[in-house]
Amino acid sequence: MRGQITLSQLFSEMEEGCRQQASTAGVVLPPTFSVARAFEEMAAKGTVNAPLLRAARVLRRNGFKTGVLTNNWVDDSGGRLFTATLMTLLRRHFDLVIESCRLGAQKPDPEIYVYALDALKAKPQEVILLDDIGENLKPAREMGMATILVRDTETVLKELEELSGVQLLTQEEPLPTTCDPSNVTHGYVPIRPGVQLHFVEMGHGPVVCLCHGFPESWLSWRYQIPALADAGFRVIALEMKGYGESTAPPDIEEYSQEQICKDLVVFLDKLGIPQTVLVGHDWGGAVVWNMALFYPERVRAVASLNTPYRPADPTVDIVEKMKSYPTFDYQFYFQEPGVAEAELEKDIGRTLKVLIRSTRREDRLPSAPSIHGVQERGGLLVGFPENPPASQIPSPSGPLNWYRNMRPNWRWALSAKDRKIPQLRREHLEECGHWTQMERPAELNRILVGWLEGLPPDPPLPKISRL
């Protein structure tokens, strides 16, 4: 057992010891010598072993309980944000995280292993312990645990595969960590009388705001929210107007891009967010492009999935232009209020199983009609199976009024026809359908995190005089 010791105390003792030894040896330490600074620089460069973290997630999905035993100190140093971020990450991914500084016992003290076994309700013979220090493994082996000495990642994964019987070296990357309503913070922002927006958030740091499309909800970002939070961002996933717990006003004009963007600005104002990165999908993609055009001062950067930026064409009426593309026939079927609602809301489960599917061969519906000719068939779902098998990427539903503002959206976009969106960058995922963030979450997360981390830093705020 040991009492709690803080890193500041440890650094102080270590520095004093170094100075005494240097004095005895006749060595002059530089005036900038600092054990604390050295540790903080190490922490700043610290990374998590991603393959082992993925392996832990795979094991959990296969029924294993997972835990982490740390030998650590109470961190009151200048680098304590790293410690807090790391511990938050570990607690999100493991069933049990034991900090020696909280327990009062540390490896290789058998007491910490006994405590872990009791917390996990496991017998020693049911446990596999990994550690990069052989001394820490010895008491665990004596208790009857299987042990793996961590040297290199590939060898560890092979040994872990053999002991667990779970395939961990597969080429197919496991799904990233998901989130559910219980592990995010929910909030509601009143926009104006009778209209409020529901949102969830997770993490701390620069703000990234996620805007979903039709017929989704904030849960369509369930794989991106924890990944971006783990990367050091404050992630806010909006429930767009008309969906879920956000207000669904009946007026079609409420869903014009102009009004949606005005509401989003009020939303940011109410949360005290002067500027944000916006990421959108489907209709949410249209929102983020328009925010960049009409409210550039509120936008640090934008990313849009499956909805590329297209400037408004003043020479052709938008309705006539869309009529020339058979792909958009379904949008004209959506125009008459009540018609599409009656079909799609008759059986929400069937609607979602039909519409939200991946491009995988095993997920395709047999003899499914084309999205062309919806009006001629008499409905979007006509010709699809009455009892389709479950989709691999299910998602909640939403309203149709977003589609009923074609001309107002076009006219509003025309007023910004001379504005530019600079520094565009494009990424492409092969073999992926429309529901990118749910169908290929690991690849998308890598792209988004890399892009976000590569954004130029924010310039310093100007000093404002006090009157």
Closest CA to 237 of 280, 294, 290: 280
pLDDT digits (tens, 9 = 90+) for 126-166: 999 999 999 999 999 999 999 999 988 889 999 999 999 98
pLDDT of residue 19: 75
d(CA 335, CA 328): 12
pLDDT of residue 4: 59
Q: Mean pLDDT score of the chain, rounded to an integer?
A: 85
Q: Which amino acid is at 32?
A: T
Q: Do domains 45-164 and 181-453 have the same CATH topology?
A: yes
Full DSSP string of 264-286: HHHHHHHHT-S-EEEEEETHHHH
Catalytic position from the list 403, 418, 428, 458: 403
The domain segmentation of the chain, as residue ranges, is 45-164, 181-453
pLDDT digits (tens, 9 = 90+) for 71-115: 887 877 777 777 787 888 788 888 999 999 888 898 999 999 999
d(CA 406, CA 317): 10
The interaxial angle of helices 134-143 and 110-120, nearest 10 deg, is 60
Most confident of 22-36, 158-172, 248-262, 382-396: 248-262
The residue ranking higher by pLDDT, 381 or 257, is 257
The residue ranking higher by pLDDT, 136 or 347, is 136
Dihedral angle of Cα 217, 219, 222, 224, to the nearest 10 degrees: 10
pLDDT digits (tens, 9 = 90+) for 259-311: 999 999 999 999 999 999 999 999 999 999 999 999 999 999 999 999 999 89
d(CA 278, CA 261): 12
434 is an active site residue:
yes
**Does position 1 have pLDDT exceeding 80, yes or no?**
no
Phi, psi of 264 (to 5 degrees): -65, -35
C-beta of residue 433 within 8 angstroms of C-beta of residue 439: yes
Helix or strand run (H / E) with residue 299:
strand 299-305
d(CA 184, CA 168): 29
pLDDT of residue 253: 93
pLDDT of residue 58: 84
**2 — pLDDT class (breaks 50, 70, 90):** very low
pLDDT of residue 418: 82
- For the domain 181-453, what is the CATH code? 3.40.50.1820
pLDDT of residue 15: 67
Catalytic position from the list 309, 330, 363, 434: 434
The residue ranking higher by pLDDT, 123 or 182, is 123
CATH topology of domain 45-164: Rossmann fold (3.40.50)
Catalytic position from the list 282, 309, 313, 363: 282
C-beta of residue 175 within 8 angstroms of C-beta of residue 204: no
Q: What is the pTM of this model?
A: 0.69
403 is an active site residue:
yes
pLDDT of residue 449: 92
